[in-house]
Amino acid sequence: MKKRASNGFALLMVLTVLAVLSVMVYEFQFNTQAKIDRSALTRDDVQANQIAHSAFNMMRALLHAQKTFVDPMQRQIGTNIQLWNLNVGPASIDFCRTELLRTLSSGGNINQILAEIGLGALTMPEEKKKDDRSPTRPPGAPSTTTRSGEAPKEKKPKSVGFLGLPFQARCTVTDEDRKFNLNKCCTIEESKAIVQHVLARLQGPEWEKYFQERDPDGQTTTREDLAAAIVDWMDTDTERIGGGYEESHYQSLRDSYKSKNAKFDSIKELHLVRGMSDKLMREVFEPDFTVYGAGRVNVTTASRDVVLTLIRAYAKDKFDRLLDPNNPTLEKAVNEYLRRRDPLFGGGIKGAQEFVDAFKTVIALDEAALLGAIDVQSRVFRIEVRVVEVVGDEPNTSEITRKKVTAILDNGPPGGKLLYWREE
């Protein structure tokens, strides 16, 4: 009886030890795997961060080369091609695209390079057909066909990043000078220009309903109120344009605050200005207005809405029927100008006077004031870099964003000056 009890106790001890060891082994394995996963995440983060910074510096170098070497040469030959905005095919060439860099560094042929920039392969003249009879397979050589008699489909490998790294870079460069600069304020002439641009941009029946609605505080805001409130937010006095105390609206709010009386730090700050809404921000101010830029609008890169706004703002007769958004004469003139300004296929625009000449035969313009508001060069740029991981096998691939960098660069000073930097 004692022997059986002893054997039972020993079995219980063995099972207890095994259970404890199993827990210890599981804990050790779990902790080890967690450390491996953390190390992999740290490694990926470091690689993505370095690729993002390298891509940004590459675009920074491209802008420096444009200013230092390309632009002086173009002034001598009378062209205006901007490498950062070079459109070949349906989209701009992404010079930091790692697939393109890999193709160039590995000595890729012309068809591979054209495919990477979105043009596709060259179509060569059809050569004389050769004898298409299958060559005799040497004895013992493996078959190159399946049982059905068809050649096996070649499986394309998974996309690999530049220099073997697992990530790809995607860059977008846009000039802030294609927009109206709200921070060019607040002399009398500059304030007048801001009001003029805002009113001209909001001209049109599509905005009429918005300015007839009441805001959450039960007040209505006219176009003139909104344009004046933007200037009042920046100027240093407390008097509202048109008369009155500029703080009265903000102090009447449930969560009251004061106007800044200084320039905007971000375009998002417009949300605090009286009469601003999400719809206006999304459809008007974020696409066509900025708080950066040299102050003049680059008419070689400006959007259609900005071009129309310039014509409306500097027309001598603000009630001219040609300013109707649906007027076919003005629409035709704008389309022709947008076609002509393409440097590769339309000849390009070499000077601001060419913009004035394109429209002065259609509508009477204040030419001197318009020439003072436009340019054909850009100085301040927004550089956006995305580092992505390409997953899946071609052609069924998708991209997962691992790192995103947004920067604003003033390309005027030597080497450029960083105005804004954000990493996500």
The phi and psi torsions of 408 (rounded to 5 degrees) equal: -115, 125
Kindly report, residue by residue over 54-95, the tens digit of the pLDDT.
889 888 888 898 889 888 888 888 788 888 887 655 556 667
CA quadruple 95, 100, 105, 110: dihedral, nearest 10: -110
Kindly report, residue by residue over 206-215, the tens digit of the pLDDT.
888 787 777 6
The phi and psi torsions of 392 (rounded to 5 degrees) equal: 95, 170
Domain boundaries, the chain: 177-339+351-371
Architecture of the domain delimited by 177-339+351-371: Orthogonal Bundle (1.10)
CA atoms of 153 and 301, how far apart (whole Å):
45
Amino acid residing at 126? E
Burial class, 341, CB count within 10 angstroms (exposed 0-12 / middle 13-18 / buried 19+):
buried
CA atoms of 246 and 238, how far apart (whole Å):
6
pTM over 0.85? The answer is: no
DSSP conformation letters of 335-378: HHHHHHT-TTTT----SHHHHHHHHHTTS-B-HHHHHTTEES--
Contact 313, 366 (CB under 8 A): no
In this structure, the chain runs to a length of: 424
CA atoms of 154 and 147, how far apart (whole Å):
16
**According to the model, what pLDDT value does residue 289 have?**
96
Segments in the chain below pLDDT 50: 110, 113-114, 119, 121-135, 154-159
**According to the model, what pLDDT value does residue 361 have?**
87
CA atoms of 330 and 283, how far apart (whole Å):
22
CA atoms of 286 and 277, how far apart (whole Å):
12
Amino acid residing at 206? E
Residue from 262, 265, 261 nearest 291 by CA: 265
Contact 169, 51 (CB under 8 A): yes
CA atoms of 313 and 198, how far apart (whole Å):
9
**According to the model, what pLDDT value does residue 101 have?**
59
Amino acid residing at 29? Q
What DSSP character marks residue 67?
Answer: I
Kindly report, residue by residue over 240-297, the tens digit of the pLDDT.
887 788 888 888 888 888 889 899 999 999 999 988 888 899 999 999 999 998 889 9
Q: Which residue has the tokens 């703002």?
A: 313
